[in-house]
Amino acid sequence: MKKTTTRLADGRELMYYDSRDDVVRGRPDRRPLTPATSVTEIRTDPLLGEPVGYAAHRQGRTYHPPADQCPLCPTRGDRLTEIPEDAYEVAVFENRFPSFDGETGRCEVVCFTSDHEASFASLTEEQAALVLEAWTDRTRELSRLPGVRQVYCFENRGREIGVTLAHPHGQIYGYPYLTPHTARVLDALARHRERAGGNLFDEVLTAERADGRRVVLETEHWTAFVPHAARWPYEIHLYPRARVPDLLALDGPARGELPGVHLELLRRFDRIFGPDTPPVPYISGWHQAPFGTGLAVPREEFALHLELFTIRRGPDKLKHLAGSESGMRAFVSDVLPEAAAERLREVAT
């Protein structure tokens, strides 16, 4: 893998990831952009103790442009985009409309391919492996920034989710704080360690494999299952058999298997409701151990895992977060986890 780092016209960083070492990158950004500026404020809810970010500049971000004006496609002729090259494999750049500014974290966009009509699920294993290398490299680099506590590599797909750009892409957030979700998980790990003496992640994975009813896919190095208390209609958690805290710690065999496993799960999602339904909207994100001191447990206690879920509960029905879920964070699901797992096994290739 070859990485080439350059700058866009407004000073933002851009990285190309290529599968061949002889690829030369360096075309300049010809757009007349002013220096990038953004201001983010973070406040803490006094009752919940949870941070909330405010980024008013995001109101002006690009919203559902037509395909011939996509800012994530390569630059060709006079159509100037965020990617100055006329073709690329994987490109990562600082978000022009970040949720966190440079002093309070980092937000990056990951373009999985230059093909506007593709999707992550349509990538080859080699292409998916290059995306994995980019995620790993960005986790390493962002973890070194003084303002970053946690790195989250994720993909939103579908207008129903709120995606505003149709080009196949994801994002990476370098949070300047410990996210509420991860803080609760770390507290649960600490309480379980004190009460029972073991690692809660390990015990959950062991129990799911032993039960088997919710296991969707197993390989030599990975296990995918619908969690016992899944919140979403179709939800999969993917764990390496050997616990590691982040993508950086994955060994060669587990890393080598991952692209094929990841693609298989995404392709199964697209088959849940049959061939005549639109692509399934989903959120897919890598949960990694946070960095820094003051954690409830050592970061090695955390288990790297992927959480993949869709808000679609039927061919033409969505799971809306209405009063109970949005107002009280009390989920009620329409699909039993065991039934969801059975369906996800039925649509295996």
Q: Can you tell me the distance from the alpha carbon of 92 to that of 170, in angstroms, rounded to the nearest whole number?
A: 9
Report how far apart, in Å, the C-alpha atoms of 320 and of each of 9, 111, 325 are.
Answer: 41, 28, 9
Active site residue 116: no
Lookup: tokens for 347: 């649509």
Among 64, 116, 169, 181, the one annotated catalytic: 169
Q: Which residues pair with 156 in a beta bridge?
A: 283
> Which residues are designated catalytic?
169
